[in-house]
Structure 1
Amino acid sequence: MIGLFVSHGSPTILVEDIPWKKLMREVGEKIRSEVNPETVVVISPHFISWSGKHLVEVQEKLECIQDYYGFPDELYKFCYSADNDVELARQIVSAGKKAGLEVEEDSSWGLDHGAWIPLSYMFPGLRVVSISITDGTPQEHYKLGEVIAQASSGRRVLILGTGSPTHRLDGLYLGIKPKQSRFDQVLMGLLKEGKFDEIMELPKTKMWVEAQPEGLLNPLYTVLGFVKPRKAEILGYDVPWGGVSMLAVRFE
C-alpha cells in the first residue's frame, strides 16, 4: 500500500506563487499514473472530534468548508467539493467497531481547507472519504489506519494525511524569520532512516511541545497504520513562513 503525508499550508497558498503548489500537482500526477486510485481517504488536522470518537462522513457529497477567517476576500473565491465513497466510508465504520475503535457515522462535516486544498491540486475528480482525528494517542490513530486498510482490502485506495510538523502560529504572526526547527530535523532524520517506531514516541519529547505539530501529527500516525511502511521518501520540505513548515512524504 502507498500513503502520503502532505502539508496543506496557509490558505494564502491559493493566491501565492510558491513552488509547493507545483509539487502537489506533480505528486498527484505521479501517484495517479502509478496507482490509479479510485478513492482517497483524507485525514485533516482541522477535522477533529473532541468526543473521543472518530467521525466518518457518510453523506453523498462532501461539501467545501472555508474554515478560515479574517483573510483577504479573494481567498473566499476558492472552494472544492468531492463525491463521497459512501460504501467504503460505512465499511470503515463497521471494521472500526469490530476492532474496538471508537468510530461512528456522521454527516455534519465535509472537506475543510486542510483537505480540499491538497485534494484540489493533487486528486481533482476522485471520490473521497473524510475521517476525523481525535485528541487521542499516536497508537489510537495508528489503529485507525489499520482499520482503514482492512476495510480497503482489494480496492485501489490511497490515504492522504495533511498538516504541518511545526505549527507555531505565534512565529507567523510576529513575523519571525523562517527557519528549520529542531523537531523537523529529527522527524526527517527518522523518516529517512525508517525509524517509524521512534516517530510514535515523539510526543514525549520537549521539542514536540516547542514545535506544536498541527493536529498532534495524528494524520501522519494514521497514514503509518494504513501503510505499515518499509520506507519513506521525502518528496519536499519548506519553511515558507516563520513558525510553519511544509513536508511531503511518500510511504510504501
Structure 2
Amino acid sequence: MKVIHIALHVTVALLLALAFDCYNTRSHHSSLQDMFSALSTRLLSLATVRTLSKHAPSTSFDHSKDIRHIQPSSSLSSSTTTSSSTMSDKLPVYFISHAGPNQAVDESVTADFFAELGKKWTSLSDPTPASILVISGHWEGDQGIIRVRTSEENKLYYDFYNFPDFMYKLQYPSKGSPKLANRVLQLLSEANIPAEAETKRGIDHGVWVPLLRILPKPEIPIVQMSLADMRDQPTEKTFEYHYKLGQALTKLREENVLIVASGTAVHNLRDLGTYMRSGTKVAPYVAPFDALLDKVALSESESERRVAAINEMAQSKYLRSAHPSLDHLLPFHVALGAAGEDKAKILHKNFFLSLSESAYSFGEK
C-alpha cells in the first residue's frame, strides 16, 4: 500500500505541475495531451524516477558528483553557522526556486527546506523583518514597465489550470503594505526605472505557494512586484536591466525589508515529458547550468559577479536549454543586484528531470 501511495502521490504532483505549466508557458512545444501521455507511460516507475536530494548550505558545491547520490542533511540549520542573525545594519536577500503549485500540499525535500527557511526567517533579529518584498517569475509588467501591488489585502491569484478543486480553495490571508509599495515606486523612479501601481491583480503562486510553506502564519506584510517584459530585447540587456532593478531595491534592506526573489534555477518544462519517456533522471544541461549559478553567486567581488551574471550567463551554451523563457531566471538577477558586495551561501539543491530548485542567500551570517 505504501508503494502505491507514493507512486500515486508523485503522479498527482507531477500531473498538477505540468497541467499548469503547459497552459501557462507562453512558448511551449509540447501539448498538454502529449505531456499527460508521457506521464502515464511512466506511472509504474515514478516512485523511483523521483530521486530527489538536497544540499546543505556551503560556499561551494561539487557538480561533478551525481546529486542523486548525495545524502540529504538532517536540516538546513544544522550545518550553517551557529547564529541565525544577520549583519547588524541590513537584512539578507534570498533567491528561492518556488517549484510548481503542488508544493502548497506536496511533501518533498523542497517543502522541507521551506520549513527550515521559515524557522530562520522568524529568528532574524537586528533588524527584524517588518515586511517582505517578493519578485516572482510569474509576473512581467507590460512593455517593460515594473508593476507594484499597492493593495492593503493580498487576494490570491490562482494562476494555474486543470487542478483539483481543493487547490482553488487554498488560502493565505496575508496583508499588503501600501507604505512599502509606495517606497518601492519611489526608489524605482529615482533609478529611472518605469513603474506603476497595481491594485487588481492578486499575488500569484510564485509568491503564496512557497510562503505558505515558509511562513504558514502570514503575520508579516507582503508586497509583490513584477519583472519587466523584455522578450524582444537582447539577453544581455534583459539581464543588465534586472540586475539594475535589484540595485535600485537594495536600500530597502536597511529599512527592515526582506527581499525574496522567487524563480527556478533551471526551468525547462518542455523537456519534462521527453526525459520521463527516456528514463533519464536529470537532463544533461541541468547540472552545468546550475553550476554556473553557483559560480556567479559565489563570485569574489560585486564587479566580478555582475560581469558573470550578465555576460557569461548570456553566452552560456546551456542557457536556452535550461531556460527556454527567461522569466524564472530573472529573479536571480534581481537578487544579485540587491545583494551588492554581500557574500552568497548555497542553501538548497534539488535536481529533477529538467528542473533545478537551487536556493541562495546573500548577506546572511
Give distance in 2, aligned partners of 1:7 and 1:154: 25
Question: Which moved further from structure 2: 40-49 or 217-226?
Answer: 217-226
* Rounded Cα–Cα distance in structure 2 between residues aligned with 1:233 and 1:94: 30
**CA deviation vs aligned residue, 1:83-109 (integer Å, no higher than 9, x gap):** 111111112112211221111111122
**Residue 232 of structure 1 aligns with which residue?**
344
Q: 2:220 aligns with which of 110, 126, 150?
A: 126
**Pairwise CA distance, 1:228:** 0.8
Q: Provide the rounded CA distance (Å) in 2 between the counterparts of 1:125 and 1:88.
A: 15
What SS is found at the alignment partner of 1:206?
coil
SS at match of 2:246: helix
After superposition, the Cα gap between the structure-2 partners of 1:186 and 1:66, relative to the gap in structure 1 and judged at 3 Å, is: same
CA deviation after TM superposition for structure 1 residue 193, in Å = 4.1
Q: Pick from 181, 190, 200: which aligns with 2:310?
A: 200
Whether the 8 Å CA contact 2:265–2:356 is kept in 1: the answer is yes
8 Å contact from structure 1 (residues 81, 116) kept in 2:
no
> CA–CA distance in 2 between the matches of 1:92 and 1:31?
22
The ranges of structure 1 where at least 4 consecutive aligned residues each deviate by more than 3 angstroms after the TM superposition are 192-195
- Is 1:79 the equivalent of 2:171? yes
Q: Name which of 191, 197, 201 aligns with 1:99.
A: 191
- Give the greater-gyration-radius structure (CA): 2
8 A Cα contact 2:347 2:359, kept in partner: yes
**How far 1:24 moved relative to its partner?**
0.8
The unaligned stretches of length 5 or more in structure 1 are none
Distance in 2, Cα, partners of 1:153 & 1:190: 21
Q: Which amino acid aligns with 1:24?
A: F
Deviation per residue, 1:38-67 (Å, 9 max, x gap): 111000000111321000111111211111
Q: How does 1:18-33 map to 2 (within 5 A)?
A: 18-33=108-123
Q: Does 1:249 align with 2:360?
A: yes
1:190–1:139 distance in 2 versus 1, CA, 3 Å: closer
Residue 178 of structure 1, CA deviation: 3.2
Counterpart of 2:294 (choices 169, 188, 192) is 188
The number of residues matched between the two structures is: 250
Specify whether residues 214 and 164 from structure 1 end up closer, same or farther in structure 2 by C-alpha distance, changes over 3 A only: farther
One-letter amino acid matched to 1:187: L
Matches within 5 A, 1:1-252: 1=90, 2-35=92-125, 36-123=128-215, 124-136=218-230, 137-150=238-251, 152=252, 154-174=254-274, 175=276, 177-179=280-282, 180-194=286-300, 195-197=304-306, 198-201=308-311, 202-212=313-323, 215=327, 217-240=329-352, 242-252=353-363
Check whether the contact 2:227–2:330 (CA below 8 A) recurs between aligned residues: yes
Name the one with the larger strand percent. 1
Instruction: Look up the SS of the partner of 1:185 in the other structure.
Output: helix
The answer (yes or no) to whether the contact 1:81–1:111 under 8 Å persists in 2 is no
% identical equivalent positions = 28
Structure 1 contact 135–216 (Cα < 8 Å) conserved = no
- Cα RMSD of the aligned pairs, angstroms, is 2.0
Distance in 2 (alpha carbons) for counterparts of 1:214 and 1:75: 27
Report the alpha carbon displacement of residue 214 of structure 1 after superposing the two structures with TM.
5.1
Letter in 2 for 1:169: L
